Chain A
Amino acid sequence: MRINWKSFVLSLAVLLILFPFIYLVFLSLASEWRFPEVWPSYLGFKNWVTVFGSETGLLESFFSSLLISLSVAVFSTASGFLISKAVFYHPKKRILTLLAYFPYILAPVVFAACLSFFFLKMGLFGNMTGVVVAQFIIAFPYALLFFSSFWNAKVKSYEDLVATLGGNKWQTYTKVLLPLAKGLILICFFQTFLISWFEYGLTSIIGIGKVQTLTIKVFLFIKEANYYYGALSCCLLIFPPVVLLYFNKRYVFKKLV
Chain B
Amino acid sequence: MKIKKSNVSILLFVLIGVVPFAAAFIYALLYSFGVIGVANNGFTLQFWESVLASGIFFKSFLYSFIIALTAVTISVGGALWITLKFKKQLEKRFLSFIIYLPLAIPGVVTGFFTLQLFSKGGFFARISHKFGLITKASEFPDLVNDGLAFGILLSFVTMVMPFFVLLFLNVYKNERVEELSVLAQSLGANPNQIALRVFLPILIKKTWVLIVLYFIFLLGAYEVPLILGQESPQMLSVLIIQEIKQYDLDKISEGYVVAVLYTLIVSAAAIVLFLPKRKSAYAN
B115 partner, pick from A85, A96, A201, A222, beta carbons under 8 A? A222
Q: Does A109 contact B (CB under 8 A)?
A: yes
B100 partner, pick from A86, A94, A239, A249, beta carbons under 8 A? A249
Complex contact B12–A79 (CB within 8 A): yes
Complex contact A198–B107 (CB within 8 A): yes
Query: What's the Cα separation between A14 and B167 when bound, in Å?
Result: 19
- For chain A, the bracket of interface size reads 35 or more
B20 partner, pick from A97, A103, A109, A222, beta carbons under 8 A? A103
Q: Does A140 contact B (CB under 8 A)?
A: yes
Asked, given contacts A17-B102, A86-B9, whether A200 binds B274 with beta carbons under 8 Å apart, the answer is no
Complex contact A205–B17 (CB within 8 A): no
Complex contact A200–B108 (CB within 8 A): yes
Query: What's the Cα separation between A133 and B170 when bound, in Å?
Result: 34
Q: Does B95 contact A (CB under 8 A)?
A: yes
In the complex, which residue of chain A has the Cβ closest to the Cβ of B14? A99
Asked, given contacts A10-B86, A17-B98, A17-B99, whether A90 binds B6 with beta carbons under 8 Å apart, the answer is yes
Total chain B interface residues with beta-carbon distance under 8 A: 86
B151-166 residues at the A interface, CB under 8 angstroms: 162-163, 166
Q: Chain B 236-264, CB within 8 Å of chain A: the 1/0 string?
A: 11001100100000000001100100110
Stretch in A31-39, A41-49, A155-163, A175-183 with 4+ CB within 8 Å of B: A31-39
Query: What's the Cα separation between A195 and B266 when bound, in Å?
Result: 20
Query: What's the Cα separation between A255 and B168 when bound, in Å?
Result: 10
Complex contact B275–A205 (CB within 8 A): no
Which residues does chain A contribute within 8 Å of B206, judged by CB atoms? 257
Complex contact B106–A215 (CB within 8 A): yes
Complex contact A35–B244 (CB within 8 A): no
A1-58 residues at the B interface, CB under 8 angstroms: 6, 9-10, 14, 17-18, 20-21, 23-24, 27, 35-38
Q: Does B279 contact A (CB under 8 A)?
A: no
Complex contact B263–A106 (CB within 8 A): yes
Interface of A is mostly: helix
Query: What's the Cα separation between A165 and B94 when bound, in Å?
Result: 48
Q: Does B269 contact A (CB under 8 A)?
A: yes
Q: Does B125 contact A (CB under 8 A)?
A: yes
Query: What's the Cα separation between A74 and B77 when bound, in Å?
Result: 37
Which residues does chain A contribute within 8 Å of B241, judged by CB atoms? 109-110, 113, 201, 205
In the complex, which residue of chain A has the Cβ closest to the Cβ of B271? A98
Complex contact B113–A113 (CB within 8 A): no
Complex contact A87–B104 (CB within 8 A): no
Q: Does A153 contact B (CB under 8 A)?
A: no
Q: Does B39 contact A (CB under 8 A)?
A: no
Query: What's the Cα separation between A197 and B115 when bound, in Å?
Result: 22
Query: What's the Cα separation between A175 and B206 when bound, in Å?
Result: 35
B13 partner, pick from A86, A108, A137, A245, beta carbons under 8 A? A86
Complex contact B126–A105 (CB within 8 A): no
Which residues does chain A contribute within 8 Å of B209, judged by CB atoms? 257
Q: Does B142 contact A (CB under 8 A)?
A: no
Query: What's the Cα separation between A94 and B213 when bound, in Å?
Result: 18
Asked, given contacts A17-B101, A86-B9, whether A103 binds B129 with beta carbons under 8 Å apart, the answer is no
In the complex, which residue of chain A has the Cβ closest to the Cβ of B89? A10
Among A82, A103, A107, the most chain B Cβ lie within 10 Å of the Cβ of: A107
B77-120 residues at the A interface, CB under 8 angstroms: 85-86, 89, 95-110, 112-113, 115-117
Q: Does A102 contact B (CB under 8 A)?
A: yes
Complex contact B116–A23 (CB within 8 A): yes
Which residues does chain B contribute within 8 Å of A144, judged by CB atoms? 13, 17
Which residues does chain A contribute within 8 Å of B35, judged by CB atoms? none
Complex contact A257–B13 (CB within 8 A): no
A201 partner, pick from B27, B89, B237, beta carbons under 8 A? B237
Q: Does B62 contact A (CB under 8 A)?
A: no
Other than the given A10-B95, A96-B13, A253-B100, 8 more pairs (CB < 8 A) read A6-B89, A86-B10, A87-B13, A100-B13, A105-B266, A106-B267, A107-B221, A118-B24
Task: Report which B residues bind A (CB closer than 8 A).
Answer: 5-7, 9-10, 12-13, 16-18, 20-21, 23-25, 27-28, 85-86, 89, 95-110, 112-113, 115-117, 121, 123, 125-127, 129-130, 137, 162-163, 166-167, 170-171, 206-207, 209-210, 213, 216-217, 220-223, 227, 236-237, 240-241, 244, 255-256, 259, 262-263, 266-267, 269-271, 273-275, 277
A-B contact pairs, 21 of them (CB 8 A): A14-B98, A18-B98, A83-B9, A86-B13, A87-B13, A97-B274, A101-B274, A103-B21, A115-B27, A118-B23, A118-B27, A201-B222, A201-B241, A222-B115, A238-B105, A239-B104, A252-B103, A255-B166, A255-B167, A257-B207, A257-B210
